[in-house]
């Protein structure tokens, strides 16, 4: 049996252009988010309003009634609660900076995220919506992800160390276009009974969300991703981090980050990049609060 190919999605450049230029309207809110986090529908392909869709359907539209490529997540600056340890009105910019770092690393871990200045509630970040099953979170994927998924989680740990993510919860780890492949064991061992009990492994593309509390000038790394502590850091990841530092120092990436972060935050980012590039093993938990709460 062949595994179905995931849908072909637009390129990041195409998605970014669309997010910057398409009109959109809020159609829902993520109730468990601490700051205003709105699900919006891009209306450039279909100009009907939410009310128009409801009238045409004869009921309130459900998520499945909308093409996922027409959905995005909007975080307006005015909807962010002030924090004592992050400059006010900057969380949306940090969301965009995290995408810029992920894209520069070439890891495709953070969905395309752009700045918008003319949204329904003003300036904010707009991120490509990731269709996902919320049960496929970090902790589930540790046990049920295939080798490629586990490698992506290792890259997540490095990314979070680079951006100093202060809130990597398990539910911030999404699996896009999941498919099952292989099994957790049994068949490889040649035991028919074990093979019957073996569970399929999950394959797919990891996507990481919620990076508003990153890039502080103080070390605030708080994450669920300590399971790899002590393991060797793959050399390929370290090499990518070295190239990231070079890109930040000279070139368009540095200019874009300068428009999103304070000068001192960019300087500390460069210091962190240099330290992470030298890591031979994944770090152990440290600091007063190395784990987020809640964990999921």
Predicted confidence (pLDDT) per residue in 55-101, tens digit: 999 999 988 999 999 999 999 999 999 999 999 999 999 999 999 99
Q: What is the mean pLDDT of residues 164-169?
A: 97
Q: What is the mean pLDDT of residues 238-249?
A: 97
Residue 34 has a pLDDT of 84
Strand residue runs (E) in 10-155: 24-29, 38-42, 71-76, 113-119, 122-128
Residue 32 has a pLDDT of 83
> How do residues 181-204 score in pLDDT, each as one tens digit?
876 554 343 454 455 456 789 999
CB 37 within 8 A of CB 95: no
Q: What is the mean pLDDT of residues 32-59?
A: 93
Q: What is the mean pLDDT of residues 155-180?
A: 97
> How do residues 265-287 score in pLDDT, each as one tens digit?
999 999 999 999 999 999 999 88
pTM: 0.91
**If you ran DSSP here, which 8-state letter would residue 232 be given?**
B
Residue 2 has a pLDDT of 46
> How do residues 218-227 score in pLDDT, each as one tens digit?
999 999 999 9
**If you ran DSSP here, which 8-state letter would residue 187 be given?**
T
187 against 119, higher pLDDT: 119
288 against 115, higher pLDDT: 115
In angstroms, the first-to-last Cα distance of the chain is: 35
Residue 70 has a pLDDT of 97
Does pLDDT of 37 surpass 50?
A: yes
Write down how long the chain is: 296
Asked if the peptide bond before residue 208 counts as cis, ω within 30 degrees of 0, the response is: no
């Amino acid at each position: 049996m062949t595994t179905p190919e995931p849908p072909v999605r637009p390129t990041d450049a195409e998605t970014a252009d669309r997010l910057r230029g398409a009109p959109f309207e809020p159609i829902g809110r993520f109730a468990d988010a601490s700051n205003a986090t709105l699900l919006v529908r891009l209306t450039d392909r279909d100009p009907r309003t939410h009310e128009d869709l409801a009238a045409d359907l004869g009921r309130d539209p459900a998520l499945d009634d909308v093409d996922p490529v027409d959905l995005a997540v909007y975080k307006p600056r005015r909807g962010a609660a002030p924090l004592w340890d992050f400059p006010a009105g900057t969380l949306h910019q940090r969301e965009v900076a995290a995408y810029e770092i992920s894209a520069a690393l070439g890891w495709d871990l953070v969905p395309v995220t752009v700045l918008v200045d003319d949204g329904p509630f003003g300036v904010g970040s707009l991120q490509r919506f990731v269709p996902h099953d919320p049960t496929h979170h970090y902790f589930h994927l540790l046990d049920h992800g295939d080798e490629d998924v586990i490698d992506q989680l290792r890259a997540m740990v490095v990314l979070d160390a680079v951006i100093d993510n202060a809130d990597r919860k398990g539910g911030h780890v999404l699996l896009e276009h999941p498919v099952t492949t292989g099994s957790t064991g049994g068949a490889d061992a040649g035991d028919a009974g074990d093979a019957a009990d073996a569970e399929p492994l999950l394959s797919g593309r990891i996507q990481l969300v919620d990076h508003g509390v990153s890039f502080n000038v103080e070390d605030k790394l708080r994450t669920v991703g300590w399971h790899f502590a002590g393991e060797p850091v793959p050399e390929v990841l370290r090499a990518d981090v070295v190239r990231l530092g070079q890109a930040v120092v000279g070139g368009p990436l540095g200019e874009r980050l300068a428009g999103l972060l304070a000068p001192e935050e960019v300087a500390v980012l460069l210091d962190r990049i240099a330290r992470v590039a030298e890591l031979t093993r994944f770090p152990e938990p440290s600091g007063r609060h190395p784990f987020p709460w809640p964990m999921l």
